[in-house]
Structure 1
């Protein structure tokens, strides 16, 4: 396996990503759109998820494809970002046709960033507008770190962010991951330098420092975030994707496997106070997929994407926590 040309989820042909954020709000939204509707499913392993229209992604439900997936900050308010994406898709004439009606299907998930130091005293919910802005700027190249749904994200010890990574499999199919990392847990070992995901790093993509040589890791669970906030402001939400042809049931199995990537990159993971969730999608443009290999690659990409999210986070006025780059200057 090798990194794709961008090392982004958009190495999967036919996918586009849009980001929108408000620096005063300290929050934002990310959308993944395909050239055409794609097959998707989802798996939740956190104890506190926030979702929209995810029930229809179960393998036994009749919906076969969706137009887009949304990751957003804003907790329950952020679910309205999906409405902004629906507005953009409707204006473009895209959606599920029922008689004369066109209905864009856009599942989404949110993380909690309401106590991160941003100004949350809005009168009108800002997330619908952020969703539409993100849809309007979709591209195949995009920045990582403090952007989109990762704008206000915080890990246990430092700022979180938006991350992505990709792999090209031996059969020529591509797998990618996109994540907004805002976990209860830490992404670095004690000392704030080495990433838990270091064994899976490729070509120095998040600093090239290698694994922590210490043993007995995970015995202490220090958290600057918990000292600054209540323990409930968390969640890692992600999308993994492939161009290999998968059914909805196979997408679900890939989403399950991809959660290993959260567990390898974040300690602890899948806690009662996280809403950890992974969407898996197939554009179906390639040959029939090897579900085992795709799930394995998705987990590898997701671990790397989480580390890249934190590695690329950048400081902003009023931040509650330092960035990895601040601590390792």
Structure 2
């Protein structure tokens, strides 16, 4: 039997750390994933409106083999500056890709649009570099979910979104984890009820134990926040299995199924749906074909669970534009 890791967080993949920083007045924030050593990374983008930094170098044919951190941020294109704050802090630590006597930290990132969520956006200067540096400094094994980090100002079609994470330990002994910022055009719940689309994959009562819905709306006409144009779900999947860049890219592609299992609709023209996939390379594959298939399926399932956990854990704040799952459904 598979089961979540001891934290049910992406940091159950040994060696990974995650930090959050946020500004509750602005209703935005940054989440940073890093490790003591650089890690192999790939990416897959399926949304029609992505915002990202340093994703091209993650292609399997590009020279740079490893990265130092990954950044998930609010702020739309303005939030891409969060990665600069992280890169500057890493460089001060001596981290980065060595070029002569210089170190250049490799810090890919992605953003959500959270600029019209009820927060005060009249800032005197871009807050994201400082938030990025603070999130890096806060990186630990444990971190908050829901209204935290890059999920602080996230919303869905029907409820407040947030930051989610989940993990699983496979029969092979490999660990897989997911981290996600849910700011979707669509909905994580079925119709106007409390049931999550991801319910078939729930472990215990990690997002309320409501089970599957007993009735479904017309699934050909989904609920959306189309008029707001304020969307995008971004995430990371991780494993301790030994994977190269091409295999990480395939892992990220497989993990996109988790968006489709946890959100309806997913991968729309107005979402920037993106997933990074990383390998710490701690545990070899005994059966490369079968193991990579299982890893991809586990990544997708963990991602669906993480999406539901993000929405379930969201907490209310002044001037919210959407209710939380807890305030609407009482728990």
Q: What TM-score, normalized to structure 1?
A: 0.97
- Counterpart among 232, 236, 239 of residue 239 in structure 1: 236
Residue 190 of structure 1, CA deviation: 1.1
SS of 1:283's equivalent in the other structure is: strand
Contact 1:113 1:153 in 2 (8 A): yes
Do structure 1's residue 275 and structure 2's residue 301 form an aligned pair? no
**Alignment RMSD:** 1.0
- Quote the offset at 1:192 in angstroms: 3.0
Task: Say yes or no: does 1:80 pair with 2:81.
Answer: yes
User: Corresponding residue for 1:259?
Assistant: 256
Partner Cα distance (2:298, 2:218) in 1: 25
**Offset, 1:214:** 1.4
Structure 2 distance, partners of 1:215, 1:135, is 42
Partner in structure 2 of residue 179 of structure 1:
180
1:226-261 Cα deviation digits (max 9, x unpaired): 4xxx34210000000000000100000000000000
Partner of 1:155: 156
CA distance in 2, matches of 1:154, 1:270: 16
Structure 1 residue 217: Cα displacement? 4.9
- Tell me the alpha carbon deviations over residues 140-170 of structure 1, each in whole angstroms, 9 at most, x when there is no partner: 0011000001000000001000000000011
1:121–1:216 CA distance, 2 compared to 1 (3 A):
closer
Q: How does 1:1-329 map to 2 (within 5 A)?
A: 1-215=2-216, 217-223=218-224, 225-226=225-226, 230-288=227-285, 290-329=291-330
TM-score normalised by L of structure 2: 0.96
Q: Secondary structure, in 3 states, of the residue corresponding to 1:284?
A: strand
Is the 1:46–1:273 Cα contact (8 Å) retained in structure 2? yes
| CA distance in structure 2 between the aligned counterparts of 1:240 and 1:3, rounded to whole angstroms | 14
Shift of 1:219: 3.7
2:283 match: secondary structure: coil
Give the drift of 1:221.
2.5
**What is the distance in 1 between the residues matched to 2:302 and 2:36?**
22
Runs of 4+ aligned structure 1 residues displaced above 3 Å come to none
Deviation sequence 1:268-302 (CA, Å, 0-9, x none): 00000000000000000111262111110000000
Aligned partners of 2:79 and 2:128 also within 8 Å: yes
